[in-house]
Amino acid sequence: MTAKSLFEKVWERHVVVPETADTPAILYIDLHLVHEVTSPQAFDVLRSRGLQLRRLDRTLATMDHSTPTDTAQIFGGMPIRLESAAKQVRQLELNCAEFGVNLLGLRDDRRGIVHIIGPELGATQPGKTIVCGDSHTSTHGAFGALAFGIGTTEVGYVMATQCLLQRKPKTFSVNVTGKLPAGVTAKDLVLAIIGRTGVNGGTGHVIEYRGPAIEALSMDERMTICNMSIEGGARAGMIAPDATTFAYLKGRPYAPSGAAWDAAVADWQGLRSDAGARFDKEVTVDAGTLEPMITYGTNPGMVTTVNGTVPEKPGDEVFAKSLAYMGLNPGERMTDKQVQVVFIGSCTNARLSDLEAAASVFRGRKVAKGVRALVVPGSQQIKREAEKLGLAKIFLDAGAEWRESGCSMCLGMNGDLVDAGQYCVSTSNRNFEGRQGIGARTLLASPASAAAAAVRGRITDPREFLA
């Protein structure tokens, strides 16, 4: 029998009609996550063609991108300030009511960022195919699911048929050896990987992250890694499920229980790449040599160590244009840079352990003068847990803002914005021009690094705060 990779095993289970030279495979989708931004035009297609959703039981909707994080606009009776956002939220409510879709709406206590609540509710499970009209759907691959982002046309296909037309992608094994040093996080690891493989290194591929340093990660950390697969060009990133995965899922609302749980675990244990499985591409990274990382440019591959300097690339006009946007010069030390905004949140880094990492830096300290620090939990459940554990109080005592869950400042479409020219150390996933607001300068880093920058008012090695 041929040795198979984790991806191949999950792929094969979902082929409804195999691919031929003339036609792509028809791939079955186990879970379709829907949100307000990429669904309205898909519902319109259903309406205009007189179609219904094929499997409401495999569809889960929420709202996160354009929703405000200001409590008054969600629970305080204030209208959503951005009129177009209010309309989009309303449209999702109307569409879900009309078509019978299960919606975790604006005031639902299970609401949150779509890629955070899927796992939190236990809907994300090993071996599933999961899609959403959002590129960070790759997050769910942390559970050994095949999960990838799709456009709105395909959102409509999945609604109507529960299937997609797909060519089988290539495979890319990212082997991470060694052990992450103290104070170096999963975010630093994935930024280092993208720095190595480039923002297009994964194009056409599904990544499998493997090796002892990956096996040692918690589920929160694995989600951070898989989340940023798309920043390396790969639509999906996967990690083989193991005891850590099963322990996370057990008892969650959508997870199987009783005998079904035992059967599921027995099945999931087979979801790992066989010895000798072949990959189209492989790279090995030694976790033991890594340091806290931060981006300096306008794509996530433009990354250096927090203690490093801006690289020099003489004659590269695109590089020079990127540095000009960032207001940085080749050779400049990153730690010399003052920051004006710190954002701790997003589907990359807004889970409870991310907030704990940030709180461990903020505890007993203050946000530096002239810095605005925004802490936005990934879900309402995480918000409640953080409040119960006293984390919210630490943030507020430090002078940070503590918000309702949502995508917030990761992307400028919900009212949480960075002003032109301001530097923002952000735990999100994209440092593209204008991503956080017109002219905003994003520096991607881990929650600990972001908190350290907030306290010092400049880019700072978070290991200075290690207890």
Partner 1 sequence: MDPITVIRSRTVVMPSTNIDTDQIIPARFLTTTVREGLGVSLFADWRYDKDGKPRPDFVLNQPDAQGCQVLVAGRNIGCGSSREHAPWALLDYGFRAVISTEIADIFRNNSLKNGLLPVVVDEATHAWLLANPGLEVEVDLESSTLRLPDGRSVQFPIDAFARYCLLNGIDELGYLLSQADAIDRYEQARAPR
**Residues 62-101 interacting with partner 1 (rule: CB under 8 A):** 65-66, 82, 84-85, 87-88, 91
Return d(Cα 32, Cα 98) in angstroms, integer.
18
149's tokens: 């982002």
Nearer to partner 1, 55 or 463 (CB): 55
CB of 65 to partner 1, least distance (A): 7
For the chain, report the end-to-end CA distance as a whole number of angstroms. 51
CA atoms within 13 A on the CB side of 31: 27
- Closest to 406 measured CA to CA, from 12, 180, 18, 74: 74
Work out which of 33, 103, 223, 264 binds partner 1, going by CB under 8 A. 264
Q: Give the per-residue contact string, 271-310, with partner 1 (x = CB under 8 A; - = no).
A: ----------------------------x-----------
Q: For residues 224-253, which are near partner 1 according to CB under 8 A?
A: 230, 233, 235
Nearer to partner 1, 37 or 448 (CB): 37
22's tokens: 């003339």
Question: At 140, is the secondary structure helix, strand, or coil?
Answer: helix
Looking only at the bridges linking them, the beta strands covering 163-166 and 25-28 are antiparallel
Work out which of 3, 12, 17, 81 binds partner 1, going by CB under 8 A. 17
Nearer to partner 1, 100 or 151 (CB): 151
Note whether 165 binds partner 1 by CB under 8 A: yes
Give me the DSSP letters along 78-143.
PPPSSHHHHHHHHHHHHHHHHHT-EEE-TT-TT-B-HHHHHHHTT---TT-EEEESSGGGGGGGGG
8: how many CB neighbours lie within 10 A of its CB?
18
The stretch among 276-284, 398-406, 425-433, 453-461 that binds partner 1 (CB under 8 A) is 425-433
The stretch among 1-9, 38-46, 282-290, 383-391 that binds partner 1 (CB under 8 A) is 38-46
CB of 141 to partner 1, least distance (A): 15
Question: Could you tell me which residues are beta bridge partners of residue 32?
Answer: 59, 131
Nearer to partner 1, 134 or 208 (CB): 134
The stretch among 150-158, 171-179, 367-375, 443-451 that binds partner 1 (CB under 8 A) is 150-158
CB of 430 to partner 1, least distance (A): 6
Note whether 396 binds partner 1 by CB under 8 A: no
Residues whose CB is less than 8 angstroms from the CB of residue 375 and which lie 6 or more positions away in sequence, other chains included: 344, 345, 355, 358, 395, 400, 401, 402, 403
- Phi/psi for 235 (5° steps) reads -65, -30
Q: Are 446 and 434 spatial neighbours (Cβ–Cβ below 8 Å)?
A: no
Question: Could you tell me which residues are beta bridge partners of residue 131?
Answer: 32, 148
Q: How many of the chain's residues bind partner 1 (CB under 8 A)?
A: 73
CB of 26 to partner 1, least distance (A): 6
Note whether 9 binds partner 1 by CB under 8 A: no
CB of 99 to partner 1, least distance (A): 15
Nearer to partner 1, 41 or 329 (CB): 41
